[in-house]
Chain A
Amino acid sequence: MISSFLEQYMSTTLQCLKLLDAYLLYILLTRALQLSYCLLLRTFPFNSLLSGFMSCVGSFILAVCLRIEINPQNKGDFQGISPERAFTDFLFASAILHLVVMKLVS
């Protein structure tokens, strides 16, 4: 079942979407790493841990949103949002997210 899914995935998705998916996978791995640190070791600098964690989750969500918005299959849902606009939104949102994360880390 998984192999058929992978086959279909490889053939139907666009190149740029695959790139985004690779980025998403990377974020997921980082998050798994952080979570294991949290569970296994300690939660002392709680705000740093939290900010790091939130940063991961936030970037993940934003990348997913970007992926949804630039997918040409979803054109109907998003009138008036070109891929360029979606990317600009992504940059703007990431900037805000990382600003706040920086604040929380300290």
Chain B
Amino acid sequence: MAEPSALESKPKASAGGGGGGGGRAGSKAGGPGPGPAPLAGGLSQPAGWQSLLSFTILFLAWLAGFSSRLFAVIRFESIIHEFDPWFNYRSTHHLASHGFYEFLNWFDERAWYPLGRIVGGTVYPGLMVTAGLIHWILNMLNITVHIRDVCVFLAPIFSGLTSISTFLLTRELWNQGAGLLAACFIAIVPGYISRSVAGSFDNEGIAIFALQFTYYLWVKSVKTGSVSWTICCCLSYFYMVSAWGGYVFIINLIPLHVFVLLLMQRYSKRVYIAYSTFYIVGLILSMQIPFVGFQPIRTSEHMAAAGVFALIQAYAFLQYLRDRLTKQEFQTLFFLGVSLAAGAVFLSVIYLTYTGEWHQGWKYAKIHIPIIASVSEHQPTTWVSFFFDLHILVCTFPAGLWFCIKNINDERVFVALYAISAVYFAGVMVRLMLTLTPVVCMLSAIAFSNVFDTRNILDDFREAYYWLRQNTDEHARVMSWWDYGYQIAGMANRTTLVDNNTWNNSHIALVGKAMSSNETAAYKIMRSLDVDYVLIIFGGVIGYSGDDINKFLWMVRIAEGEHPKDIRESDYFTPQGEFRVDKAGSPTLLNCLMYKMSYYRFGEMQLDFRTPPGFDRTRNAEIGNKDIKFKHLEEAFTSEHWLVRIYKVKQLQNRETLDHKPRVTNILSKQKYLSKKVGSQGNYPTKVGSGLSGRW
């Protein structure tokens, strides 16, 4: 038993930290609360454990994502599935065999005979280039993998990368715990799996990774305001543009985010730097892809970005001027500027309608173009798809959104907008469920993380047992009701009188009698049993209904079974036969030891401004006896939510206090005697000493 005593001898704080840390190390890594202070010694560094755990979890998430996508390949063979992937595979094959420039300038005369197809200009090359690059690198390292295998397994591998980028993004938005949860969710969420299985060699496989990564870099650049992060974001955006036509989502969501920040008066120089750099460099990068060409400055889909760019330039300039000019000057300048801008807008509207540029962009009139409307993936989404693709996450996703909005800051505005727009688009087309899936994973992770964060975990029992373990003598004896015997023996390591074995009914009855009698009688019993501490459970503060007052009648009945002359159950009820703890309760109950121990100092406690002080939440009554004083006990410990209360039994006093008042020697009685002897002089004392000399 050397270890427990060693634990006891350490100062309370570190041992408590060690015990608590040991209990909490098994839970989710990077937990929100303040971790224990780093102890000396390499292996017990919490920060090290944290990153090891994060790494392991992410690796396992990658593995899970990869393996769950392999079903078809394991069952059949490594082969490309579906329709679109076969074109992608053929192009990648061409790329791998003939080289990059041949691929970019490829004119395919074997498709659309006799028209042919300009592949280089009508394809998003990112997918093919990625697969080709991986194939090339592996072959350089003399790992001879066939291009078909690279294509088949590309999507599962990139799902792992998507998990990691989702982790990074959620960590920026909330905390590490939420990030890990999000990574695990997106690794196995069906909505993403169904479009990225092994063999499904399609744009979405890499596009979702590029999407999440670009968003992560965008959030990072808004947070830091550094140009290098923004450039990285632009490069990632370039990759996204090369990968999928859904890049339009990014180029509209980011300007929307900036615009909403402006509206919310959250403008800051970091936002200005991030967006201006992103827009220009991103624009020029996106025009590198032949398929995109000059669309970013022509079509209406990209006009929002340009508009917000112009707006933020104007806003920043005005801010700059405002710092320099006086209010009057600024106002005149402002009016001038606004009228000029209005004039410019008016002129440009006239110009655009005149040249017909407006009509170029109504690409979303999908219901009017039969070919587009006939594709099954473009049909409106049914609720069944929402549930099958997202399972439980679809329920926790609104909670996460609410948490984000409640604790708003710049990046959470972004994720809220992302969520709202993704929900709208997912409702329009089944295919776009895919864009909803990442944000649902992230927000659900935030919701779950918040649930684990909030201190709804009550750990009063262990708190009290550890107090007993560290603050009482090793051989102290603890009296409590038998329910808690095993726990006290196990966690607090103290001697108990009765425990869950319940083999000796008379012993339990003695304890019950002590609990039910008044303090003096109970004290006699406790002295005879050598009790040092008394432990009770009290649920009146939190409304816990399994406390000792609710079990009290059983204590009474068991005690009555052995000591029928001293304890009578009917004494504890009101004359009407009710068990009440308020003023109308029976006096025996209001003065018994259990009552006093439960409600000591409770009369001063007001839990709620609507209820009076001393309101017992479990019995829903205001207690009857608020002014409780102990003679033989003193309060030793009460846990955080008053669940466990421990009292110390005082030793016998050195001197017995008297039951009666001390004798008082009264002068008045002597005078009565004197005046009777001398004569009736009245009842006032003259000279006490010379009273016998008579009258003079």
Chain A contacts to B: CB under 8 angstroms: 1, 4-5, 8-9, 46-47, 50-51, 54, 57-58, 61-62, 64-66, 68-69, 74, 77-78, 80-81, 85-86, 88-90, 92-93, 96-97, 100-101, 103-104
B270 and A78 contacting across the interface, CB-CB below 8 Å: yes
Docked pose: A54 CA to B224 CA in angstroms:
25
A57 and B228 contacting across the interface, CB-CB below 8 Å: no
Chain B residues whose C-beta falls within 8 Å of the C-beta of A58 in the assembled complex: 280-281, 284
B288 and A100 contacting across the interface, CB-CB below 8 Å: yes
Choice from A85, A90, A104 contacting B284 with Cβ under 8 Å: A104
B227 and A62 contacting across the interface, CB-CB below 8 Å: yes
Q: Name 17 interchain pairs, CB-CB below 8 A, sorted by A.
A: A5-B324, A50-B297, A54-B283, A58-B284, A61-B277, A65-B276, A74-B269, A77-B225, A78-B270, A80-B224, A85-B226, A89-B228, A90-B227, A92-B231, A96-B234, A96-B281, A103-B288
Number of interface residues of B (CB under 8 A): 31
B235 within 8 A of A: yes
B277 and A62 contacting across the interface, CB-CB below 8 Å: yes
Choice from B225, B231, B234, B294 contacting A46 with Cβ under 8 Å: B294
A18: shortest Cβ distance to chain B, in Å?
14
Q: Which 3 A-B pairs have the closest CB atoms?
A: A89-B227, A89-B228, A65-B273
A83: shortest Cβ distance to chain B, in Å?
12
SS class, residues of chain B in contact with chain A? helix
Residues facing A in B190-239 (CB within 8 A) are: 224-228, 230-231, 234-235
Given contacts A1-B333, A68-B272, A93-B277, whether A100 and B228 have CB atoms under 8 Å apart is: no
SS class, residues of chain A in contact with chain B? helix
Chain A residues whose C-beta falls within 8 Å of the C-beta of B284 in the assembled complex: 51, 54, 58, 97, 100-101, 104
Chain B residues whose C-beta falls within 8 Å of the C-beta of A86 in the assembled complex: 226-227
A34: shortest Cβ distance to chain B, in Å?
15
B228 and A1 contacting across the interface, CB-CB below 8 Å: no
A85: shortest Cβ distance to chain B, in Å?
7
B226 and A78 contacting across the interface, CB-CB below 8 Å: yes
Docked pose: A68 CA to B225 CA in angstroms:
10
Chain B residues whose C-beta falls within 8 Å of the C-beta of A92 in the assembled complex: 227-228, 231
Chain B residues whose C-beta falls within 8 Å of the C-beta of A68 in the assembled complex: 269, 272-273
B287 within 8 A of A: yes
Residues facing A in B252-281 (CB within 8 A) are: 268-270, 272-273, 276-277, 280-281
B325 within 8 A of A: yes
Residues facing A in B274-316 (CB within 8 A) are: 276-277, 280-281, 283-285, 287-288, 294, 297
Docked pose: A96 CA to B273 CA in angstroms:
16
Docked pose: A74 CA to B652 CA in angstroms:
72
Given contacts A65-B273, A68-B272, A69-B273, whether A81 and B280 have CB atoms under 8 Å apart is: no
Docked pose: A8 CA to B330 CA in angstroms:
14
Given contacts A58-B280, A61-B276, A81-B224, whether A100 and B269 have CB atoms under 8 Å apart is: no
Docked pose: A56 CA to B133 CA in angstroms:
34
With CB as the reference atom, state the residue of chain B lying closest to A88. B228
Choice from A4, A88, A93 contacting B329 with Cβ under 8 Å: A4
Chain A residues whose C-beta falls within 8 Å of the C-beta of B228 in the assembled complex: 88-89, 92-93
With CB as the reference atom, state the residue of chain B lying closest to A66. B227
B332 within 8 A of A: yes
Chain B residues whose C-beta falls within 8 Å of the C-beta of A69 in the assembled complex: 225-227, 273
Chain B residues whose C-beta falls within 8 Å of the C-beta of A100 in the assembled complex: 281, 284-285, 288
B509: shortest Cβ distance to chain A, in Å?
69
B324 and A9 contacting across the interface, CB-CB below 8 Å: yes
B301: shortest Cβ distance to chain A, in Å?
18
Chain B residues whose C-beta falls within 8 Å of the C-beta of A85 in the assembled complex: 226
Docked pose: A18 CA to B628 CA in angstroms:
78
Docked pose: A71 CA to B643 CA in angstroms:
58
Chain A residues whose C-beta falls within 8 Å of the C-beta of B231 in the assembled complex: 89, 92-93, 96
Chain B residues whose C-beta falls within 8 Å of the C-beta of A9 in the assembled complex: 324
Choice from B225, B268, B280, B287 contacting A61 with Cβ under 8 Å: B280
Docked pose: A93 CA to B231 CA in angstroms:
6
Docked pose: A89 CA to B273 CA in angstroms:
12
Chain A residues whose C-beta falls within 8 Å of the C-beta of B227 in the assembled complex: 62, 65-66, 69, 86, 89-90, 92-93
B355: shortest Cβ distance to chain A, in Å?
13
Choice from B224, B287, B325 contacting A104 with Cβ under 8 Å: B287
A45: shortest Cβ distance to chain B, in Å?
12
With CB as the reference atom, state the residue of chain A lying closest to B330. A1
B497: shortest Cβ distance to chain A, in Å?
61
B277 and A65 contacting across the interface, CB-CB below 8 Å: yes
Chain A residues whose C-beta falls within 8 Å of the C-beta of B226 in the assembled complex: 69, 78, 81, 85-86, 89
Chain B residues whose C-beta falls within 8 Å of the C-beta of A104 in the assembled complex: 284, 287-288
B324: shortest Cβ distance to chain A, in Å?
6
Chain B residues whose C-beta falls within 8 Å of the C-beta of A46 in the assembled complex: 294
B269 and A77 contacting across the interface, CB-CB below 8 Å: yes
Residues facing A in B309-338 (CB within 8 A) are: 321, 324-325, 329, 332-333
Chain B residues whose C-beta falls within 8 Å of the C-beta of A81 in the assembled complex: 224-226
Given contacts A8-B324, A62-B227, A69-B227, whether A93 and B272 have CB atoms under 8 Å apart is: no
Chain B residues whose C-beta falls within 8 Å of the C-beta of A80 in the assembled complex: 224
Docked pose: A51 CA to B284 CA in angstroms:
8
Docked pose: A68 CA to B269 CA in angstroms:
8
Docked pose: A10 CA to B346 CA in angstroms:
36
Chain B residues whose C-beta falls within 8 Å of the C-beta of A57 in the assembled complex: 280
Residues facing A in B162-212 (CB within 8 A) are: none
